[in-house]
Amino acid sequence: MDEVIAVTGATGRVGGRVVRRLVAEGATVRAMGRDAGKLAQLPAAEHAVASYDDAAAMRAALAGASTLFLVSAHEGPGRVGTHTTAVDAALAAGVRRVVYLSYLGAAPHATFTYARDHWYTEQHIRAAGVPFTFLRDSSYQSDLVAMTGDDGILRGPAGDGRVAAVTHDDVADSTSAVLLTAGQGIHDGLTYDLTGPEALSFDEIAATIAEATGRPVAYQPETRAEAYASRAVYGAPAWEVEGWVSSYEAVASGEMDVVSDAVRALTGRAPQAFADFLAAHLESLRRLLPK
């Protein structure tokens, strides 16, 4: 029986890259997402429209698939339940293994509130009794630029903590390597931390962005109270603001100060350094910064 790899979030930043890589390697791929029009633009042999919280649609979309690559759902108070519905639907459809895109430091009491959702999702997958692989990625390098304010200030309660942010391409390449060999069982039961090659402080991150773009960028440490106050202007719900603030606090606590060799082990090459990423995407990144 041919291996059919179902890729969720196929129109997203990681899922889309994974689909293209798998197809280029000759894999049988079923691209899954919620937007039929966007799915139609992907090169996958099969497309399926389904939402994680629609169990019937997920079962139908996953029928005949052997491996599921589950990209985590958008953040929200009910995300663990949404993941649980998707996993249970996959098992009911006959999926034989699950590769889950989790998050670095996933734990029940992680400082970063969203990382807790990932831990509970991992536990549900473990309890399902099927082979699994967890890919815990660090923060994304492109998001570090997007987090910079219109005034050129990168502000947050990160203290002097460090983070080894990773690129979407390195995560996609690592994921594809796992999925292409999933049927061999060599990654079953394993967890991989996907990080960049070096852990940087936010002072160093700001300086690297400034040097690459020629724009003034600086890091401004905040207290917890200051972080909540500076983000109040967005009018976001409390759970979302807590996620934003706690992502910096996880850096301050040292939970993100992890440098792993997993990208090299899985892909055969070193992960991209932040300065190299900036150089490669300079023009698009400049649009995110003040002139």
Domain at 71, CATH number: 3.40.50.720
Domain membership of residue 187 (yes or no) is yes
Domain membership of residue 106 (yes or no) is yes
> pLDDT for 190-243, tens place per residue?
999 999 999 999 999 999 999 998 889 999 999 999 999 999 999 999 999 999
Q: What does the pLDDT average to over 141-153?
A: 91
Domain membership of residue 207 (yes or no) is no
Domain membership of residue 83 (yes or no) is yes
Of 44, 9, 8, nearest to 26 (Cα)?
44
CB atoms within 10 A of CB 167: 23
Phi-psi region of 201 (alpha: psi -120 to 50; beta: other; left: phi over 0): beta
Domain membership of residue 123 (yes or no) is yes
Domain membership of residue 157 (yes or no) is no
Domain membership of residue 224 (yes or no) is no
pLDDT band at 250 (very low <50, low <70, confident <90, very high): very high
Q: What does the pLDDT average to over 53-64?
A: 97
> Worst-scoring range by mean pLDDT, 15-19, 95-99, 120-124, 278-282?
278-282
Residue numbers of the domain that contains 83: 4-137+168-193
- Residue at 114: amino acid letter: Y
Q: What is the pLDDT of residue 291?
A: 58
Structural domain total, the chain: 1
Domain membership of residue 285 (yes or no) is no
In the predicted model, is pLDDT for residue 1 greater than 50? no
